[in-house]
Chains A and B, each alone.
Chain A
């Protein structure tokens, strides 16, 4: 019995009727050519799957996320009336219904970086620092020690005018601990959010803005930076369980290495 390539291909996906599936299965045992064909199709298929697998774990560019997250868009009246605004939906459902999947999807977006365009204006020192502040924060990153051991509002200096300061600590709806922090150098400032996994910290978002003057982190009204800034605020709103931790409970966690046992 001969089989078409369509049938072999569908066999790979388990999309044939069971009688044809078993016919192919038994033919494979004795037909070397058929087995080679199936293997070639399977290999090609797996190669494609593997090549694209990781893309879904990459952060979605912030300007695209912002299309869906930001509260008011300039073309608001053009937006189709069957798209429920993000905020409206938040109030339309009870917290428990939306919060858990939302937190999960936010966790998936780990590494979102916002406003990276401003990097062009940054010094090489800043760029190096920025590179160290992306993705997973391991013990070798300057940020690690700060997140792991420093109380909120305590500034740590890293030379060349760079300071890192945790600004807020909170527990997420799925029981993780996250900290908001600020990194400030002479020409740029970053506001970020990192969450602790079992052994390290993971940057959830990092928003960089240029500094003019000594005002620290600030964003121009209506600018892309401001949208990014609101994005961080909303992110925290959506992830947080209850209130941010007070200095006392934060201090306890710092002592216990973030184990609340």
Chain B
């Protein structure tokens, strides 16, 4: 793969619910400015938001790397968190390990990873329990005016 046309790294702080979602808002604005089809921008924004909130809910810190290629958007969400014990289980809709206080805030419905999968064309999850998780998803750019 050639070098991306655009790349940017967003630092994410764990438990920072006030600023949570800022990175994905910026990703949405950036992609919109590039003139990418709004449907694709929306998918990328939703998947990025879920990945960002996963870092905020579960990890101490992490980052989102946005890369835009001529044919696709790639987001790499890497955190230093507890990791995922059973990825297959985590992919199940409705499965969540979020504590009650997180659910009271409107998160932890067990739709995060399934939502990322639904909104992307390719998803890869690498996780090392006790060390961290990396979620990489790609969205193909079709009918793009880029």
Bound pair: A and B? Answer: no
Using a CB–CB distance below 8 Å, which chain B residues touch chain A?
none
